[in-house]
Structures are given as C-alpha cells and as structure tokens.
Structure 1
Amino acid sequence: MNAILICFNGCSSEVEFPLKKDYLVLETLPYEALDKRGVTLNAKLVGEHTGNISEVGFIWGDVETSFKYPTILEKNAFSLRLESDLSNGKDYGYQAYVKIDSLLLLGNRLIFSSLGTIDPTIGDFYPKSGFVGDTVTIHGNYFSLNRERIEVTLNDYVCQIVSADVKHISVIVPYNIVYHSGQLPLKVQSGNTQIMAKESFLIEGFQITEVNPDHGIVGETLIDISGITIETMPNSIEVYFGNHKAEEVTRIGNTIRARLPYQMSSGSYQVSVKLDSTQVISNSTIEVLSRWQKINDFPSDGRVLGNLIPVGNVAYYLFGSTSLNSDIYFNEIWRYSFDSDEWALQGNFPGQARGGAITFNINGIIYYGLGVTGANGFFNDFWKYNPAVNQWTRLKNFTGPPKVKSQFLSMSGNGYVIGSSYYDGGIKEIWRYDPALDQWDMLGEIGIANGINNQDATFTYKGEIYVVDISNPKSRPVKVFKFSPGTPSIFEEIATLPFGPPAIQTMPIVFVLNNKLYLENTSRFQTKTGWQTETQMFTLNLESIEWARIENFPEALSAYQNSFSYNNYGYVGFISPTGADVTKKIWRYDATIQ
C-alpha cells in the first residue's frame, strides 16, 4: 500500500488555503513604515480558538539582548510601533507572541535592518516640588517602551517607576533622600541615552537654609546651621566643613551648632550635615581663617637641637644638628629679621658645637654653654655673644653638675637653668647666673620628685617663674606651678592641665602672649589596638586661670622644635617630626586675626 503525505504551511493565508481551521495559528507579518523615526511590527491570528487570550505582543532584539513588549489585539490583528531603543544600521529580529490560557504561542521570526530612532527628550515634569513618597510625572517623547530600560534618578537616587510609555514616566520620590537638601537634579536613562531635566526637583524635607557666620577661626568659632525639619532629625548628626568633621555638635530647635574643627587650613569650605548614610550639602560656603601662618623657610640645611632666641627685632639660631640621632653639629650662627622675614648667615662659634646646651638673652647679649656630645662628653664651658659686633667671649665655667636638655630662661637681668635630663646632673636644681658678676649660684631645688627637662615647659610672667611638669608620667594629672626666684623651694600649684590620659610626651610648644600661656602637647599612649597619638593646644589665662582649647599647630607629631614669643606673635620652627628627620618650616601665630 502506498501512503501519500500532504503538508500545509500553517503560517499561510486563508486565500491560499480556504480550508476552515479548528486550531489557532499566529503569523508574524513583514514590518512596515521603516524610517529614521522607527518601525512598525505587525502580526495576525488565524483560526478558531476557545481559550482566553490574556496578552499579545512582540519579542524583539539583537543577538545580545531581547525585549518583550505587549500591545493591543484588535480584530485578530495587532501591531507595535517602535520609536525608541533602535540603533542605526543594526539588524533586529522580531516575532509575535500570544498568551492563551496557560500557553505561550510564538509566531515565526523575521528580521529588519534599523534606520535608528530619535533620541528621547524631556519636556517637563510635575509637580516641581514634593516630599518622599510623592509621585512625579515626566512628560517627553521617545522614551523606551520597556520599563527595564528606563531609570529615573533624583541626585543619583533611583526612583521607583509606577508607569511608563513613550511620552510619560511616573515615579515615586525615593525615601532614602528624606534628609537631602533642596534642589535635586532629575535624570532619565532611556535605553542607552541619558537626559537631564532643565529644572531641578525641590525636596520639601530637610534643607540647610542658612550658615551663620560665614567665616570663622579654626577651632574657635561656633557655626550655626539653620534648616527645615532639624528638630525631627535623629540624634546621630555629624557636621562637616569640607572633609573635616566637627568635634562638638549640639542641636537647638531648628539650629545645629558646630565648632570649627581644631585641625584645618585657611580656605573656603562647603558645609554639610550627615544623617545616617545621607549627606546634606549647603549651597553656601564658609571662609575659614587660621591664626597659624607659614613664613619663610630656613634657607640652609634642615637642623634640630639648636637654640633659637630673639634679641631685639631679630632672632638668632645657634648651631644644631642634622637629626636627633646625629653627633655632628653645625657651628654656624644664623640671623632672622622679623621685619623682612629673611635669614642671613651671621658667623661661626669659636668653641665646640654641641647638643642639649642652654642659652638666654640678657640685655641684648646671648649667653650659651653646657650640653653634651657623644665624642666629647659633657661640657661646663660658658660663653657670651654680642651680636652687634659679632664677638664671642669665654666666661667662667659652670660650677654645678653636668646639665643636658635643661629648662632655661632669663628674667630681671639674670639667667636661670632648671633641671636636667641627665639623672646625675641635678634634675631638680635651680641655678641662677649673674652676668654682672659672671657668677653661678644654686638657689635650691624644685618640688617635683623626678625633676624636669626640655620635654617640660617653663616661662616667666610678672616676675615669677612657671613650670609645667609634662614629662613625668608619675605626676598625673599634670600641674602648673609657679615660684619666685627668691624663694625657689616654695612651689604654688595654680592649674591642672586639661590634656588627656597619661602618655609619653614629645617636646611641647610653649609661648606667652599678653596674659595667656599657649601650650601644645602631643601625647603618645598605648591602647588595645596599638600606639595612638593625640595633639591638643590650649591657652591658659594667667589672671583668671581658665583653660581654652584652640586650633592645633599645623604640623604633625614633633619630637623636637623651638618655640618663643616676640612682639605679640608666637613662633615655632626647626621641627623634627620623628627625631630622624627635620624640616625647614617656620610658623608664626597671630592672635589678632579675627
């Protein structure tokens, strides 16, 4: 028996096969209206069906991606106009689909070569302002028909899309920008094109409305930040001036008050408030002033362990070494002019340069001596230098025990040497030098158990000598004492330092301007995670005995430096941050800057 198989094309038209079909056929038809605006895709249903058609549309795309766009069925036919997402000269495949009951029926696949589409545009959006959770509708043209290819952002925060077609996109203002300030840029990413609205969207949540004052001093000025909904904010508020975090922040009603940080440089800074992960930035800036001013660098080799002392309207730097670890010392004398901010080489010392020496100025004459070198041991020689004629004169030797890194100062026509870092060198002794008699006298001992050395601080005020015992960790909390040269054994405690926990200190910065002591100390202390450092600078009003914290010295941890005051300015220079390296920087502190 012979069998004959007759094949019919299920995608053919009824005209060719006028047989009545009792099944459904989906036919993808050739495209139409292909131009630079887009293309129209067509399809039709042929045959009988009793199922429920829930969705019709087209699946289209290139070799890398595909998209599924639904459309509307009318009289067993449907079409889709693509006017977005197409690239010029690119081939795209497409095929119709129908969802009927639980089945997905696919038509045949065809191809078109695109001439591209017009880039999407934003015409406008409404409303122009609102709060989180509000709906914003964007009006425009040629938006992608595929929601997955649309992204709307407010200041880079992604919005939830409610609905979208080629001319409209509706989104919800995201909740995670509840505390963001004011005007936010609105962007739409449609396919491969990003467009920005001409206007910004105004968030009616927290906004910074005012920053007052608009200028201030590092570490001193309190800045008031006013705004909307501040009173409803969480307690965890952080305030930043640029990248510098304020250490003191309080909230009073609709105002946040923050102190300018203690470690900043002069310049303009944008003010921002951080709430959780959101940072609200003010549109205005604040001009920050520092009382520290960098003046001309030292022009020769960097050095440390020398002596820097003012005489009249100039200062002299004597000798020094290339590092704290070196035993090679310069014997040069350099002169600095306060008026011209210039350095000049003055001459050389005829004796042996050394470290740990003492020096003081009495009536325009510089006195220098004592100290130590590794090669020569301790020195007891003493000299005077007349800078007016550049002349050195040898004086009588010091008659006491060796003195290394002692505290030294001058007052009322006499010089004083207090303590020593050499244990057998009279660590508690107070010696006075009388230049008229070229004579040394031991006045007594200070009432501090472990004595003092150059890591402590001494200064004079109204005919009395003040001592700050910073280096002795056993004497915590650190005290400020004073005594009169006539009664050196009577120590009067006048204040307790506001520095932090017990620590190993570096050499402090100390100078006096008017009635205030300026004191900075860098503490190094051990924690569970390792060694930590903390630097703080304070003033002590010597009349009211009140401490006030001010801005830090601009340089980092310092193992050694020279500091003094002249003509209502404080000076710090010849800094050794670690002891092994030195800098040439010189800084001036101007308390009159407002």
Structure 2
Amino acid sequence: MKSLNPYSANKWLLCALPVLALCLIIACSDDDKKDNPIIPDSLSITSFSPSQGEAGTEITVIGTGFSTVSSENTVTLGTTPVTLNLAEAGKLKFNVPEGASSGTVSVTTNGVKVTSTSTFEVVVPEPILEILDYDPKEGEWDTYVVIEGNNFAPANNVVLFNGVMAEVFQESPSQITVTVPENSRSGKIEVRDPIDDRSAITADDFTVFHGRWTQIADFGGEKSSLSVAFTISGKGYVVMSGEEPSTDVWSYTPETNKWEIEPNQFGGIARYSAVGFVIEDEAYVGSGRRNNLNWGDFWNFKSGVWSTVNTFPEGDRWWAVGFSNGNKGFVGTGFNGDNMESKDFWEYDPLDNLWTQKADFGGAARFSAAGFVIGEKGYIGTGYGGNSGFSDFWEYDISEDKWLKRANVGGEEGSLRSNAVGFELNGKGYIGLGIDEAENRLKDFWEYDPDNDKWVGIADFKGDARTGASVFVIDGKAYVGLGNSDDDELKDFWVFDPGN
C-alpha cells in the first residue's frame, strides 16, 4: 500500500480552503435575502399642480412608490380614468380628459391605492362666441342686418359697425337682427357679450353706403335743369331756372326751409349750361347757351346787384366747369365757340378783372364734366367727348399749375357718366347723378378721399334718377335738386348729410 505524501496533502488543503470559504459566503448571502427582502418606497401622493384648469391641462403628480411602467399605474381624476404622459418612481403626468369633473387624484400601483388630500378643480370655459355669417353684406344706414352665429348672449348683446353701436331688434343665442347705425362707415361687425366679457368680430368688412338724404321744400320757381347754383352768406341761390330759362334768381334759407325770389334778376340773357363760382361772398356767373348761340359774357352778383365783368377770353363757351379757390376763379373744358370740345383752362382775378390762361386740363377734351375744390387742389372728372363718356379724374395743383391723374370715379373700373354734379364736404369730394353712355339716368353717389386717392360708394340719391341737376353747399351739407328725369324736368330738392 502506497503511503500519502504529506507535502501533497497540505498543498491540496491550501487550495480548497478559499473555495470552501467563498461558497459559505454566497450561501449565507442567499439566506440573508430570503430572511431580509428589499422593501420598495411606500406608495404616496405628496402634491399635484396646478390646482385647477380646463380640459387638456397637464397635471404633474409628485409622490413615491409609483411604477416606472405606465400601465402598472391606474390613475383617476375624480371618477374619470386618465392616460399617463410620464411615469417615474416619484412623478406622474397626465392631461385633464374631456368631460372630467372636479375631484381628487387617485393612483393604484401593485394593488395599493392612494388618494390626494386636495381636489383639482376642472374649469369649464365660457362657450366661444362666434359670428358665422351676416346678410346682407352691404347697405345704407337703417338697413336691417341678420347676424348668424353661436353662443350669443340670450339678451343685451352689443353690436358695433366699425365701432358705432347698432340698435338691436331681435336676439337669441344663434341670431341677432340689427340696423346699420347712423354715422357708421364700412368696417368690421363686432358682437359683444358684456356680461361674460366675450366678443367676436367678422373677418370681412360690412360695406356701409353712408350719408342721409332728406327731402326739403320744392324749388320755388319752375321745374328746370342745367341751372346755375351757388352759396353766399348761408343762403343757396339758383339762377336761370325753368324749362325755357328765365332770368329769375331764387334763394333758399335752410333755417326756414323756404324759397324766395330775389328782387333783381340776372343781368344777361337767360341761358342754360352756364357756370358759376363764388369769391368772397360775390358770385360770378357766365358762359352758357341759348337760341342755338353760345355765350361768353360773365356777371358779378354782389349784395343782390348784377354787373358785368370781363368776358371769357376764348369767346363763347358752354357746358364748362367752374370753381374757385381763395380769391381766384377757374373755368375750363366745355364746348368752345366752334362747338368743339375743349380742354383749355383759365383763371379769373377779380381784383384786376383779368383772365389768364393756365395749363390745359390733363385729360381729353370734353364737356359736361363735374368738379370741386379740396384745400389748395381743384378736381375735374367724368364728362363726355369724342363720342365717349369718361370716368377719369384729375387733380389740379393750383400753386404749381399742374395736373395729376387720380383714381377713376367709381373705383378701378370707373363709372362712366356726364352731366353729373360735384361738391366738397368736410375735406371729401362727391360726384353723382348724371347720365351714362346708354342714356340711363343715374342716382348713385361716390365719395372721394384725397388722402388715399380712393372712391367709396355712399347712399344713393333718394329722388328720381336724373341728369343736369344743380347743387349748393351750406354748413357741411349739400343741397341737390332740379334736373331732368326720363320723363320730365324736375323741381324737387334734397339735402345730403354725410354724418360725422
């Protein structure tokens, strides 16, 4: 029998002992895990924020013990289940669901449920007030407009047309009926609920044909057209009226709404298609046509007395345009002595009793044009010439003696007409009435703003459509009357108030 080598045995023991020790340590460690398991943080809700909000508001819940796997957390707001946006051990996030009610926040994880001590308040917003449509899309003052929409106040709605309050006649949560307010201009319609501080505004403008026409006393003389009218000292005057023009002079007083015949008749022969202008409370009337003859004489009307002044230098003239600025008068266009359409332009100086030729009118030669003055600029447009009507419009710089083409009367496409009337009120120019190329009498009116070179339609004339009317201006209002309709001469008069 072979004996064991002591050295070898010792060597084996030295190698085995460390391995046995390691096994014992591992075994002991496993026993410790069984006897002392790792306990996770207990489930709790410390806080949440915000404390209130509408549907869609994101809520952040702070606490402990949440699962990092979203599906292992069951969360409710009140009684409404929610879907998590974020799941961390100490934080959960979710959005307030549609239809949720105010309540506490509850979290259930691994069968354990905790609930917040405070309540989240679900804020229900006021229903959105909106305008869906309105009809009509344009109109004059006092036109009825029906506004369709959602969530209007059941009563006490405030409706504004470009900032001007309208009168409400009928209202419900889905429909409001109003009238276009006086003094309003084109612009947005706004509906306000003053109780809940809600409002809605239309995307497009409502077009307001502003201004008001009111009939006044009929002209005191005979019905007529192509008469001359002017204003002196707060009175309106009409000269050479009647189907067969007379030399009668009539005056109108707005305060009494009465016409009176003046004691002194026009000093020259009665005529039609003459022109007139006023310089420092003195009227100047001349040119015109009568008995197939053209006339070039001019007369001064001062303190009720007529006297002659220097004759128009280019001889006889009719259907011209006349206006004044400062202490000068201006006359141009019309038919000349050879009955040819003209475009020459002249200035009259009453101090020297002299006519001076100025730069020719900027457009084509014509007759029966309309004109007015705004500030230091004169304006002439429309008329007829070369077998065609015109809608072009020209500005005359009096100090520079230059003409400048401006926007056509009636907008981009223009509104062809002749024998219209023109006047100025409060820094705006106006042209209306007249006759078109198809010989239709017109009753529309247009307002010109020189600051933006733009025409806008205003309230139609309320009398018959006509051509050859007369106009004078007193205290910011225009008095328009006489003229020729399809059937006959006229003698009605109307006053136009453009409003504030």
Shorter-chain TM-score range: 0.5 to 0.7
Question: Partner of 1:553: helix, strand, or coil?
Answer: coil
Aligned to 1:460: 373
Please state if 1:300 is matched with 2:221. yes
Give the structure with the larger strand fraction. 1
Cα distance in structure 1, aligned partners of 2:211 and 2:453: 25
TM-score (norm 1): 0.48
What is the CA deviation profile of residues 512-547 of structure 1, one whole-angstrom value per residue up to 9, with x for unaligned ones?
211222222456456xxxx87765322222212233
- Letter of the 1:354 partner, please give it: R
Please state if 1:481 is matched with 2:428. no
Aligned to 1:198: none
Aligned to 2:68: none
Distance 1:290 1:427, change over 3 A: closer
**Structure 1 vs Structure 2 CA RMSD:** 3.9
Please state if 1:517 is matched with 2:429. yes
Task: Kindly indicate whether the alpha-carbon contact (under 8 Å) linking 1:407 and 1:452 is maintained by their aligned counterparts in 2.
Answer: no
Task: Kindly indicate whether the alpha-carbon contact (under 8 Å) linking 2:230 and 2:472 is maintained by their aligned counterparts in 1.
Answer: yes
- Letter of the 1:482 partner, please give it: E
- Letter of the 2:239 partner, please give it: L
Distance 1:539 1:397, change over 3 A: closer
Task: Kindly indicate whether the alpha-carbon contact (under 8 Å) linking 2:222 and 2:241 is maintained by their aligned counterparts in 1.
Answer: no
Query: Could you tell me how far 1:581 is from its partner in structure 2?
Result: 1.6
Aligned to 1:409: 323
Distance 1:316 1:441, change over 3 A: same
What is the CA deviation profile of residues 429-487 of structure 1, one whole-angstrom value per residue up to 9, with x for unaligned ones?
101111001111111311212x2322x22111111111223435888883322122344
Query: Could you tell me how far 1:502 is from its partner in structure 2?
Result: 7.7
Aligned to 1:374: 291
Please state if 1:471 is matched with 2:384. yes
Query: Could you tell me how far 1:359 is from its partner in structure 2?
Result: 1.5
Please state if 1:552 is matched with 2:460. yes
Aligned to 1:225: 147
Cα distance in structure 1, aligned partners of 2:455 and 2:373: 18
Cα distance in structure 2, aligned partners of 1:500 and 1:259: 30
Aligned to 1:312: 233
Structure 2 unaligned residues grouped into runs of 5+: 1-132, 152-172, 181-208
Greater RCO structure (CA 8 Å; 6+ sep): 2
- Letter of the 2:298 partner, please give it: F
Task: Kindly indicate whether the alpha-carbon contact (under 8 Å) linking 1:506 and 1:558 is maintained by their aligned counterparts in 2.
Answer: no
Task: Kindly indicate whether the alpha-carbon contact (under 8 Å) linking 1:217 and 1:291 is maintained by their aligned counterparts in 2.
Answer: no
Question: Partner of 2:482: helix, strand, or coil?
Answer: strand
Cα distance in structure 2, aligned partners of 1:381 and 1:371: 9
Query: Could you tell me how far 1:290 is from its partner in structure 2?
Result: 6.7
Task: Kindly indicate whether the alpha-carbon contact (under 8 Å) linking 1:355 and 1:372 is maintained by their aligned counterparts in 2.
Answer: yes
Aligned to 1:590: 497
Q: 1:330 aligns with which of 246, 249, 260?
A: 246
Equivalent residue runs for 1:64-103 within 5 Å: none
Length, aligned pairs only: 319
Task: Kindly indicate whether the alpha-carbon contact (under 8 Å) linking 2:212 and 2:496 is maintained by their aligned counterparts in 1.
Answer: yes
Give the structure with the larger helix fraction. 2
Cα distance in structure 2, aligned partners of 1:374 and 1:334: 23
Distance 1:525 1:453, change over 3 A: closer
Query: Could you tell me how far 1:384 is from its partner in structure 2?
Result: 1.0
Distance 1:371 1:337, change over 3 A: same
Query: Could you tell me how far 1:584 is from its partner in structure 2?
Result: 1.7
Q: 2:311 aligns with which of 397, 400, 425?
A: 397
Distance 1:506 1:493, change over 3 A: closer
Distance 1:401 1:486, change over 3 A: farther
Q: 1:353 aligns with which of 261, 270, 289?
A: 270
Query: Could you tell me how far 1:307 is from its partner in structure 2?
Result: 0.8
Distance 1:524 1:359, change over 3 A: closer
Query: Could you tell me how far 1:501 is from its partner in structure 2?
Result: 6.5
Task: Kindly indicate whether the alpha-carbon contact (under 8 Å) linking 2:267 and 2:299 is maintained by their aligned counterparts in 1.
Answer: no
Distance 1:548 1:473, change over 3 A: farther
Distance 1:542 1:437, change over 3 A: same
Aligned to 1:99: none
Distance 1:474 1:575, change over 3 A: closer
Q: Which has the larger radius of gyration?
A: 2
Cα distance in structure 2, aligned partners of 1:303 and 1:315: 16
Deviates more, 1:432-441 or 1:419-428: 419-428
Distance 1:414 1:220, change over 3 A: farther
Q: 1:536 aligns with which of 433, 440, 444?
A: 444
Cα distance in structure 2, aligned partners of 1:476 and 1:420: 14
Distance 1:225 1:309, change over 3 A: same
Please state if 1:433 is matched with 2:354. no
% of aligned pairs identical? Answer: 19
Task: Kindly indicate whether the alpha-carbon contact (under 8 Å) linking 2:441 and 2:467 is maintained by their aligned counterparts in 1.
Answer: no
Aligned to 1:291: 212
